[in-house]
Chain A
Amino acid sequence: MKLGYLSSFAVLATVVSCGASADENFLGHVKGAEVLPKGASDLYMKVNWRSDKGQGNYDAVDIFAEYEYGVSDRFQFGVGVKGRSVDTEGLLIDGYLPKEGNFGPKLAGLEVTGKYMFLSPALDDFGLASYVTLDYDWMDPHSGQDKNTLSLELELIGQKYFLEGQLIWMGNLSVEGTYSDRGALEGLPADFEWPTDPEMELEITAGTGVSYRFAPNWFIGAEIEYQTEFETEVGQERYSWFAGPSLHYGGQSMWATLTWLPQISGGGEMYEGQLDTGLHLIEKTKNEVIFKIGFNF
């Protein structure tokens, strides 16, 4: 799997950074309520390595780079681009993983985000923000095949400081609606289906986590997240619980977060012959390793 161009982009971002922080991510998935101050901006990159579906070999890497700008002291706006790579062998799942192979890396989608802070956690004691994401993807994150999706996610974010800010609690609740349309696929295995009729999906995610500053600039954190998806045909298609630790560095001009987020429990649809029956492994994996880095200007 070649991620050379994305790595180069990250190196470039590192080299050119020399300024400022604000929408700093302390955890892997769960977000905080603060926004960039007016006129400030940051460049942020997220690498999400998803691996292990219980059989065969499965590795997928999602890379997301976003530029965020503080329009006011309460509202920030962001535009981002996605890259993706899926490498799978030894496992075929009817309707989900129709082919083995190495798909990507290639550009996979575009995203526009907006975050409005109603209450500041440092000023109002409890922080409250809404986060809106409009996302257009053209590569299926599970199989690597062509799939056009248009998603709108609405998220509510809570945050509270404890111990004068040394301990941070964050909580998120989001609903995402997705319209998806798969491209036709040739050479499917016998009896495999690859529906090309458009479908609607509804995903609900709830997460909470804490981050504690154990030394100047260094934070250790933990988060837990529940995610479920409902689909046109099958009702509740899947649910998963993820939980894991994070290590975060926050400095004057940059921040970085490394998170391990294994799936600890799950259910819903299972693939034929699935051995780990306590997990959802069709659309999710056993492990996620997330690395984020942000530079402030």
Chain B
Amino acid sequence: MNRNLGLLFAMPLLGITQSVYAKDYLSVAEAQAVLFPTADTFLENVLTLTKDQKKAIKRLSGVRQRWDEQKVWRAEAGGQFLGWFMVDEVVGKHEFITYAAAISPEGHVLGVEVMSYRETHGYQVMEAGWRAHFVGKGVGDAFKLNDDVPNISGATLSCRNMTDGVHRLLALAEVMLKP
């Protein structure tokens, strides 16, 4: 029996070797080019958040700010400020989902691009039609999944966390980047 049980318990190794691969769709530079096609400069800056700032973000968005640091890029074209470019990670069912958001100087979403998505279901998050629901939203707007942003069956957790994530980035811009 031990030989057979050993074989059965070894099965996941074979399956895991089949499934451990990453699907990265966009690099940072590619996402920047998509979200700010006219920009000629991206000035990188790392924001360090205090506890009070993290609390303020949660108060504004209702979402916990997981990381203590946030990398942001100031997008410019010919010296003109176009907006902020941010890369964020949110919890998916199995792995983090990496996405980028472009936020206008006034604090509205200009666009969202998924950079890395490795979940089983829900590849519709890659579709422009789904991501378009974020465009124009500000931190004070409603962000309820299935009401303001459509849900994708089989990827509800991913959709919820991406929706909350964009809301949180708007709150971060409000707290950390508003002059």
Contact = CB atoms under 8 A, between A and B. Distances in A.
Contact of B160 (A20, A40, A122, A258): A122
A210 interface: no
A130 B1 CA distance: 36
B146 A123 contact: yes
Contact of A18 (B11, B18, B92, B161): B18
For this complex, into which size category does the number of interface residues on chain A fall? Answer: 35 or more
Interface stretch (B46-54, B76-84, B114-122): B114-122
Which of B8, B119, B151: most chain A Cβ within 10 A?
B8
A252 B1 contact: no
A122 B156 contact: yes
Given A40-B121, A256-B11, A217 B94 contact: yes
Which of B7, B21, B23, B146: most chain A Cβ within 10 A?
B7
B131 interface: no
A251 B20 contact: yes
Interface majority SS (helix, strand, loop, mixed), chain B: mixed
A196 interface: no
A252 B7 CA distance: 23
A217 B20 contact: yes
Interface string A31-48: 000001110100000010
B154 interface: yes
Which of A120, A164, A213: most chain B Cβ within 10 A?
A164
Interface of A: 1-4, 6-7, 10-11, 14, 17-18, 20-22, 24, 36-38, 40, 47, 49, 59, 61, 70, 73, 85, 87, 120, 122-123, 161, 163-166, 213, 216-217, 249-254, 256, 258, 291, 293, 295-296
Interface of B: 1, 4-5, 7-9, 11-12, 14-16, 18-21, 23, 64, 66, 90-96, 118-121, 145-146, 151, 153-154, 156-157, 159-161, 164
List the 5 closest pairs (A to B, CB-CB), nearest first: A37-B154, A251-B19, A256-B12, A122-B156, A21-B120
